[in-house]
Structure 1
Amino acid sequence: MKCLGNLKKVMTAAVAATMLMMVGCGNSSSNKKNNEPTTAAGQSGNTIIITLNAEQAPITCENFEKLVKEGFYDGLIFHRVIDGFMAQGGDPEGTGMGGSENTIKGEFKANGVNNELSHQRGVISMARAQDYDSASSQFFICYTGNYTADLDGYYAAFGNVTEGMEVVEDFTRVPRTQGGDGNMSKPTTPIVMEKVEMIEPDANGWHRVKITMNNFLE
């Protein structure tokens, strides 16, 4: 894949190896937590709102909505967090090696799809393996727009964080150990999506998803 593992123009080999690689599939899930909701950043009950862009990536959005409605993401973790780059989650195995049962077409220019949504701060996009059509459930949220030259056209961006980006930023406050990617990217405290659900569309009719997080800063 041009899995985020081949971004050698702007990143060291060690960081490059961490990119958005995901291989295989799985159907196990992480332990769920039921903490009482609060409103402080990083605590249980904090929410992230994602507005989907079906105009740019209709297949990806349809697949993501289907998994959300099935409760697929409930209890899963963000297993990889890299400062200044991205937070990756949606793997039922919690290792970066799993996914849902089905794979979908990669909606990006290198795969013949004119997706013009750029990987800027707050953009959500699909992780995949080397095969352009291997994305399933794993996704990532960008912290910066520093890697657009390498991500745009090779990964299917499909929406934006429109509320709660400060919660995503708080993921970087969780201590991390060395992950399978060779970088300090594996959170020592599980960053859990306790509940992922569809909510009412925005004023323009764009579909939205709400992610309710656990108290990962506890």
Structure 2
Amino acid sequence: MKLRKLLSTIVSTACAAVMVLSMSSCGHNSSSTADSSKSSSQAQESSSSVGLDENKSFVITLYSEYAPVTCENFEKLVKDGFYDGTVFHRVIENFMAQGGGFDLDGKQKQASTINGEFSANGFSKNTISHKRSVVSMARTTDPNSASSQFFICYSDKDTFLDGNYAAFGMVTKGMEVVDDFLKIERKTGDDGEKSAPITPITILKAEMIGDDSSGHHQAKFYVSF
């Protein structure tokens, strides 16, 4: 797929998808807090995720040092239950999976917009590079139009997006579940790509869990498909 076509696809009708990842922002390990973080995580999970399939879940670690407003907004939406019942409506092989904005009936959910934390918008602090497993905010051509939709990168070759979208996290557990989205049959979507899953990929529940060993906040997503 040519660069121009990819960029056009990203900013298409449904608040286009965009992605950012940086190996420098990937999980850091600190043995001094690992055990307490694990215990906190398990306690929170056991109290709120009973009956959900652990084999269809993934964890997003948030890197607020790179995108503080974006992470704060994402965490608030998770805590408010905004993502529960929304779907991944665009899944493109070797590119990304985008969701968090539409319900099962295809109705778009509304959320407040935030400033785009990326260098092309005057925010130099975000140095995350778009690579596999990175999570970034989708937006329209307006740099400050991101709200709830996010996408997860499938490829290390999406670095042409660097500096143009607000990457803010990374799937640090369960990326194989996100990979399985590609097994779902897809039809041509509004973006002109073979991107629209025929079987809904639904977020059953999203919740904040324990911080990682470096104190980064984490969100866990349970999905069905």
Smaller-chain TM-score bracket: 0.7 to 0.9
The SS at the match of 1:90 is strand
CA RMSD, 1 decimal: 2.4
Q: Which has the higher helix share?
A: 2
The residue type equivalent to 2:140 in the other structure is: A
Who is 1:141 aligned against?
A: 152
Distance 1:153 1:64 in 2: 19
Distance 2:191 2:164 in 1: 20
Q: Deviations over 1:138-171 (max 9, x none)?
A: 000000121212x100000000000000000000
The residue type equivalent to 2:147 in the other structure is: S
Q: Quote how far apart the aligned CAs of 1:98 are.
A: 3.7
Distance 1:53 1:39 in 2: 24
Change (3 A) 1:177 1:75: same
* Pairing partner for 1:51 from 45, 61, 66: 61
Q: Deviations over 1:33-84 (max 9, x none)?
A: xxx54455xxxxx110000000000000000001000000001100000000
**TM-score normalised over the length of structure 2:** 0.78
Count of aligned pairs between the two proteins: 191
Distance 1:37 1:97 in 2: 25
Who is 1:131 aligned against?
A: 142
Who is 1:118 aligned against?
A: 129
Who is 2:197 aligned against?
A: 187
Contact 2:89 2:102 in 1 (8 A): no
In the alignment, does 2:198 pair up with 1:197?
Answer: no
Runs of 5+ in structure 2 lacking a partner?
17-50
Q: Quote how far apart the aligned CAs of 1:213 are.
A: 1.0
Distance 1:117 1:195 in 2: 27
Structure with more contact order per residue of length (Cα contacts < 8 Å, sep ≥ 6): 2
Distance 1:148 1:96 in 2: 30
Distance 1:47 1:85 in 2: 20
The SS at the match of 2:192 is coil
Identity, % of aligned positions? 52
* Pairing partner for 2:10 from 19, 38, 53: 19
**TM-score normalised over the length of structure 1:** 0.80
- Equivalent positions of 1:16-165 (< 5 A) are 16-21=7-12, 22-23=14-15, 37-38=52-53, 40=55, 46-93=56-103, 98-114=108-124, 115-149=126-160, 151-165=161-175
Q: Quote how far apart the aligned CAs of 1:96 are.
A: 8.5
The SS at the match of 1:18 is helix
Q: Quote how far apart the aligned CAs of 1:136 are.
A: 0.2
